[in-house]
Amino acid sequence: MAMACRSGCGACCIAPAIVTPYHGMPEGKPAGVRCVHLSEDLRCGLFQDPRRPAACGAFQAAPEFCGEDRAEALRILARLEAETAP
């Protein structure tokens, strides 16, 4: 079940790895590393930009990924990243 993104979270811009190069991160993004496009107020600077990675566009906020708060979202997404890492 999709939900609205939580304001001030940014967990999906930190926890997962992005293995393909993209604008501003030519080597991709390792898991646990803040995306260079994540603003100080934890918003995506590429949200409506066609240079936004496909992986980011495909992510849908949902309670099972985002939990009850930002800290829980970071834990859930980090665990899922570790469980699915090659």
Q: Is residue 1 one of the residues assigned to a domain?
A: no
What is the C-alpha radius of gyration for the chain, rounded to an integer number of angstroms? Answer: 12
Q: What is the pLDDT of residue 38?
A: 97
Q: Can you tell me the mean pLDDT for 73-86?
A: 94
Q: Is 29 helix (H, G, I), strand (E, B) or coil?
A: strand
Is 42 domain-assigned? yes
pLDDT of 6-64, one tens digit each?
999 999 999 999 999 999 999 999 999 999 999 999 999 999 999 999 999 999 999 99
Tell me the residue range of the domain where 40 lies.
11-84
Question: For 29, phi and psi rounded to 5 degrees?
Answer: -135, 120
- How many domains does one find in the chain? 1
With respect to residue 5, please indicate whether it lies within any of the assigned structural domains.
Answer: no
Name the pTM for this structure.
0.89
